[in-house]
Structure 1
Amino acid sequence: MKNKGITEMFRLLWERDWSGLLYAPTNNGWLQLFRYGFVGGGAFVVDFGVYCILGWLGMQYLLAGIISFIVGFAFNFLVSRWMIFQSTASSKIDVRELISVLAISIIGLLLTEALLFAGTDWVGLDYRIAKIFASILVLFWNYAARKIFVYK
């Protein structure tokens, strides 16, 4: 059945099976994408919160973006290993895994910074609005790259 993955996800939602929906081991790509959005939402709250606080304190928006990225990355990496991809090194952090995810995330950071600059300086958006748009776009890069290159 072509849509088996999405059907399973909706069944878990309907049955309110929070364990199956949020952290039980799975190879279901739809369920992993759902979890990535959930975890990414939490990481976004952390990242955006730090970003806004640093902006409120007067820090330049591109520097604030780098610092908030580091905090959000740490949150996302640790929670993603547990909830989404069930790393083969379940309790120990695998250095190769960390380096791979960090490389993908650095590309995501460069994309974010470029989008922040374009949105803020070229388009004239408020730096917070530019951050929201950049974060949404980069989420798809981060998920796809991790799924393809790290957690095959």
Structure 2
Amino acid sequence: MVKRLFQGSFMRYLVVGVTSAGLEFLLLIFFVERFDLTPLMGNVFAFLITCILNYTLSRKWVFERTGERKRVEFFLFMFFVTCGLLISQLVMWIGVDQWHIDYRISKVIATGFVVIWNFFTRKYLVFNRLESLRALFSKR
């Protein structure tokens, strides 16, 4: 039953995502509380560190890709990660600086937006077959 539960890419994505999000959240708190960084600066460092873990697990376990197109996948992954970071920073800025919400609550809200963004961009644009990418961007 456990094996069956983890057969779908979305379930594996959730495991990787929860692990990455938990680590990112802890790193954010660590950077803000221990190094006295602003929440926005701590968010950048936490986000970038967890990207390495997330890319590795996404590539090898979630979307099960082989060695083909590694450079293209990595470029697309980093492009969409940067977009995710911008989404996260925007939500954090609105929450912390504009609405004066605690940075930890703002991070949880930001993570919700980024989780949705990440799943769809990774599943359909980053770890998809090259033919699907060509079809997506080709003129008909």
Please report the TM-score for the alignment, with normalisation by the length of structure 1: 0.78
> Partner residue of 1:132?
108
| Cα separation, 2, equivalents of 1:102 and 1:16 | 32
Equivalent residue letter for 2:30: I
Gaps in structure 2 of 5+ consecutive residues: 129-140
Equivalent residue letter for 2:72: R
> Partner residue of 1:109?
85
1:46 aligns with 2:23: yes
1:21-56: CA deviation from partner (whole Å, max 9, x where unpaired): 43x6xxxxxx21221111000001111111000010
| Cα separation, 2, equivalents of 1:149 and 1:94 | 13
Equivalent residue letter for 1:117: W
> Partner residue of 1:16?
2
Change (3 A) 1:33 1:54: same
Deviation of 1:83 (Å) = 1.6
1:87 aligns with 2:65: yes
Gaps in structure 1 of 5+ consecutive residues: 1-14, 25-30
Give the counterpart of 1:71 among 45, 49, 54.
49
| Cα separation, 2, equivalents of 1:142 and 1:103 | 11
Equivalent residue letter for 1:34: M
State the Cα RMSD in Å: 1.6
| Cα separation, 1, equivalents of 2:22 and 2:108 | 10
Q: How many residues are aligned here?
A: 127
> Partner residue of 2:10?
33
Give secondary structure in 1 for the equivalent of 2:37. coil
